[in-house]
Structure 1
């Protein structure tokens, strides 16, 4: 009965608040729209839930009955193509860490993105995370024992793939996906000791975060969200509060990138309730300051400055014992993010100074971040009405982004192009505009 209750068909139907009777009726209606008749009844649905595979035609009817387009169906991958939620957010529960991973992997296989996860759902998930675990983590009782040496191999592989420089990492997505899929299979079907299970959940969270940033850099936002959510579930299963806070911080960063600063602020406030490591808190406070400043409410100036001051204090308190996902946070990030927040508050002179200082402090190993910082510097020069300097910084950012394969940097520069148009005849700007269209 437990496996039946956990079947994706059951989960998807319940997520939509759909009764069995309504579901069966929806299948029959899908057939009727094609001038056909379906003999599906509740008994047949229960057989599907117990492992009987529906025909491809029936799977198409199932998709439409659940409100999804027919082209979501991959008949040879039943039932893994079935979405498990109505809004893309898996709620926390004893099996949710595996469900969330499966949902992320399923979403990544879709040829197109037809669902955007609402900010309200993300904020609610953050609030649920902040409230603490409500249920015990389920453990697989069947399956082959998971070998610790194999787990160690996966951990080493994940660490090396995640630590690649951007220029090399652009060639690694398939390897990362395969590694995460393997970890998911072990969590789903393997029998592990509590200690090994903890390591697998920790590894799943780390891999999901790395894959999410790949998807985000490529502009595949729904896919990125699903991986960050999957990472959050597994960080929670591993009882790693700092990692969970960091994954919420990533979701907040994405919300701010998409100009949903209200959602970003809500998520970050929840994340800060359970983050302990000073480097983690520094990063979260910087993102909170950026999100608050970007809301455009000058009355929040004091709140922004308090967040920046807290970030500075946390960075000074941070030693070498840092989580891997925020080990890179440095004076360079503090300077640039502070400058960007001040830029949104209208303090362009000080903002430009900080952004320039931060870019110079950045080590050569972080070229993708350098590209982003250069784009920020170009924006600050435009605010100062210095188009020649802005064009020089934007050109550097664009050339760097193209060399290392950093689409997000290119997107930032593309967003600045309309601001360069009034200066199209200015020395350096025309050359930059020509470079941008190549």
Structure 2
């Protein structure tokens, strides 16, 4: 529930409720840790790492994504390991680390190949399959400016994708449009962008941001008639790429006067470890300590030299 609520908060508004999403994710992680469910805790942590990757906290995101993978453990279900490794790949991608990103993608594919019809998987991973992993890999290759790898993956998936899932389809088309532009195929990029823009009216901040990114990439080909037509049909606000508003580096705790959320207070009352975790946060602990218990083994005990990104 925390993972879904956090995702909605991160995606729902024009400003992006990133602070609220982070609070929800932290609450979900505390609850999963209290239940000693490393797979679920890792899933929620991976969602927060994904948010950090997309809002400027790139080094922190790499650390947290790898921590989520470690917390889930080597015995985690195949689908869980594949998802965690994909988030590791995305974090490295956003940090500009090509080789680790592609290595993690390969490991994710290997993990998912171990899943079979009789393999038990958590119910919250019902959606994770080879097609979704293929799209995730294509996004990584698009971001790394490797269109020869991205375009075949995306065209294959989109050729059989459920057209009723308009928001997801719009997002995936946006990656294909950018890949075509990177491949110096502006006509194909413009055509794909047109399909994407027709679907990108869901009110999602992610689709709005992807719209701005696609149109920004098309501007390099503004002399191509198909591209010029797409650019001319858009509002000026859509042509400005919004930069991440979150500040990289340490997590900033709420002001001392802020009241704890009722759910957090209830959880802390009945879970001493959650209370200890809250003390770590209030002490402005580095990002790699926020979601661990004071005095206990940190997710990053094997990476004690990690320094949060302060750039």
Post-superposition shift, 1:249? 0.6
Structure 2 residue 292 is matched with structure 1 residue 292: no
The whole-number CA distance in structure 2 between the counterparts of 1:324 and 1:365 is 23
Identify which of 250, 253, 258 aligns with 2:50: 253
Kept in 2: contact 1:249–1:287 (CA 8 A) = yes
TM-score (norm 2): 0.67
Question: What does residue 173 of structure 2 align with?
Answer: 374
Gaps of 5+ in 1: 1-205
Post-superposition shift, 1:346? 4.2
Identify which of 48, 59, 65 aligns with 1:268: 65
Structure 2 residue 210 is matched with structure 1 residue 412: yes
The whole-number CA distance in structure 2 between the counterparts of 1:241 and 1:361 is 34
Kept in 1: contact 2:82–2:111 (CA 8 A) = yes
After superposition, where does 1:73-88 map in structure 2 within 5 Å?
A: none
Question: What does residue 62 of structure 1 align with?
Answer: none
Post-superposition shift, 1:222? 1.1
Q: What SS is found at the alignment partner of 2:128? A: coil
CA distances 1:119-162 after superposition (whole Å, capped 9, x unpaired): xxxxxxxxxxxxxxxxxxxxxxxxxxxxxxxxxxxxxxxxxxxx
Structure 2 residue 13 is matched with structure 1 residue 211: no
Structure 2 residue 95 is matched with structure 1 residue 278: no
Q: What SS is found at the alignment partner of 2:225? A: coil
Structure 2 residue 189 is matched with structure 1 residue 387: no
Q: What SS is found at the alignment partner of 2:127? A: coil
The whole-number CA distance in structure 2 between the counterparts of 1:242 and 1:322 is 10
Structure 2 residue 151 is matched with structure 1 residue 340: no
Post-superposition shift, 1:365? 5.3
Post-superposition shift, 1:361? 4.1
Kept in 2: contact 1:388–1:428 (CA 8 A) = yes
Q: What SS is found at the alignment partner of 1:329? A: coil
CA distances 1:359-415 after superposition (whole Å, capped 9, x unpaired): 33433454322221111111111111212211222222222121x433311211112
CA gap 1:249/1:397 in 2 versus in 1, 3 angstroms: same
CA distances 1:326-355 after superposition (whole Å, capped 9, x unpaired): 221122222222223233444321222122
Gaps of 5+ in 2: 237-311
The whole-number CA distance in structure 1 between the counterparts of 2:4 and 2:160 is 24
TM-score (norm 1): 0.49
The whole-number CA distance in structure 2 between the counterparts of 1:433 and 1:209 is 36
Q: What SS is found at the alignment partner of 1:322? A: coil
Bigger RCO (CA 8 Å, 6+ sep):
2
Over aligned residue pairs, what C-alpha RMSD do you find?
A: 2.1
The whole-number CA distance in structure 2 between the counterparts of 1:360 and 1:216 is 29
Kept in 1: contact 2:9–2:20 (CA 8 A) = yes
CA gap 1:364/1:280 in 2 versus in 1, 3 angstroms: farther
The whole-number CA distance in structure 1 between the counterparts of 2:131 and 2:29 is 27
Larger Rg: 1
Structure 2 residue 229 is matched with structure 1 residue 431: yes
Post-superposition shift, 1:419? 2.1
CA distances 1:226-278 after superposition (whole Å, capped 9, x unpaired): 11111111222222221111101100110111243211110111111132121
- The structure in which a higher percent of residues are helix is 1
Aligned length: 228
Q: What SS is found at the alignment partner of 1:411? A: helix
